[in-house]
Amino acid sequence: MPSLHFPSRNALRLGMAACALVAVAACSDNNVSGLPTIDLNLSRVAGFEPLKAALVAARRENNGGFNLDMWAAVVDRNGLVVAVVFTGATATDQWPGSRVIAAQKANTANAFSLPHLALSTANLYAASQPGGTLFGLQEANPTNDEVAYGGDAADYGTPRDYMVGKRIGGTNVFGGGLALYDAHGKLVGGLGVSGDASCADHNIAWKMRYNLGLDHVPAGVADKQASTDPGDDNIIYDITNGVSASGFGHPECSADATSIGKALPKTNPIGH
C-alpha cells in the first residue's frame, strides 16, 4: 500500500475554505422542498471533502479499536444532514449498518447539547440504562427510516447521499457522537462516527472534531478538575460493578482505547 500524507489541522482548515462553494452546491442540489435550507455556514466548514479528509486522518491513528474503515456524518443545528462520508475504497469496505448509526450519533449529540453544555453520546450511556436518570432516552426521537434507507445505495457516502438535506432523527447512546462548536463558541451541529468498537468511535470522532476546528466546547460533565473547571464532553470511564460514579460513564472496550481516550484532552485539546 503506498504511503499516504494527511494534512495538518491548519491545512485541513485551509482545505475547508477551498471546498466551501463545492459543499454549498452539493447541499443545494439535495435540498428537499418544504424543509429548511441547510446551515450554509456549517456546510462551508464541514462539507464533504473536509469531513472526509478529517475522518481519514483520524482513522489512520491508533485509536484502540480493530483498525476498521469508518463512516462519519454531520448534521446542522436544525438536524439536517450536511454530509456523509467513509474511509474505504467503496461503501462496503466498512460496516454498511454504521452509515445510519453515524448519522444517529450526529443527531443525538446535536439534540442533547446546548450552547453552554456539551454532551457526547458516550456521556449518555450510563444515564440511559435501567435506573439511570435518563432511562428510555434511547427510545426517543426515532430514526426516519425513509431518509435513512431511501435513494440509490450507490450514492451512499457521496455528496449525493439521500440523507443530505434531510432530517435523519435517531438516538444513540454509546461512544462516537460529539457536538460541534465553531471558533466563536456557537453550537452549530453534531458529528457522528461509527464502524469500530464504540470507544474507538469516540476517539476517532474527537480527533476528527479537532481536525475540523469545531471543538470550542464551552463545558461538559467530564474532566472537571475543580468546581470552577467547566469540563468537557470526553468519554468517562468510571463504571464499577455496573454503576457509574458520575452517572455519565461508559463501559471500557480495551485497555488501549481507555488509555487513548483518557489522554484526548491533552493529545488533542479542545479549543475553549
CA atoms within 13 A on the CB side of 8: 2
Task: Give the residue-averaged pLDDT of 113-132.
Answer: 96
In CATH, what number does 9-261 get?
3.30.450.150
Minimal CA–CA distance to 74: which of 92, 59, 52? 52
Separation of alpha carbons 205 and 72, rounded Å: 8
Minimal CA–CA distance to 108: which of 216, 222, 190? 190
Q: What is the pLDDT of residues 102-121, one digit of tens each?
A: 999 999 999 999 999 999 99
- The pairing of strands 239-240 and 177-181 is unpaired
Task: Give the residue-averaged pLDDT of 53-82.
Answer: 97
Helix (H, G, I), strand (E, B) or coil at 240: strand
Q: What is the pLDDT of residues 5-46, one digit of tens each?
A: 444 554 444 344 333 323 333 333 344 444 456 676 676 657
Q: Which residue, chain included where needed, has cell 442533547?
A: 112
DSSP 8-state symbol, 112: T
User: What is the pLDDT, as a whole number, of residue 252?
Assistant: 98
Q: What is the pLDDT of residues 196-232, one digit of tens each?
A: 999 999 999 999 999 999 999 999 999 998 888 999 9
Task: Give the residue-averaged pLDDT of 127-138.
Answer: 91
For the chain, the farthest-separated pair of C-alpha atoms sits apart, in whole angstroms, at 51
pTM: 0.87
> Higher model confidence: residue 168 or residue 38?
168
29 φ, ψ to 5°? -65, -25
Residue 82 has pLDDT above 60, yes or no: yes
For residue 151, count other CB atoms closer than 10 A to its CB. 17
Q: What is the pLDDT of residues 139-165, one digit of tens each?
A: 889 999 999 999 999 999 999 999 999
User: What is the pLDDT, as a whole number, of residue 12?
Assistant: 47
User: What is the pLDDT, as a whole number, of residue 9?
Assistant: 52
* Domain layout of the chain by residue ranges: 9-261
Minimal CA–CA distance to 109: which of 98, 119, 122? 119
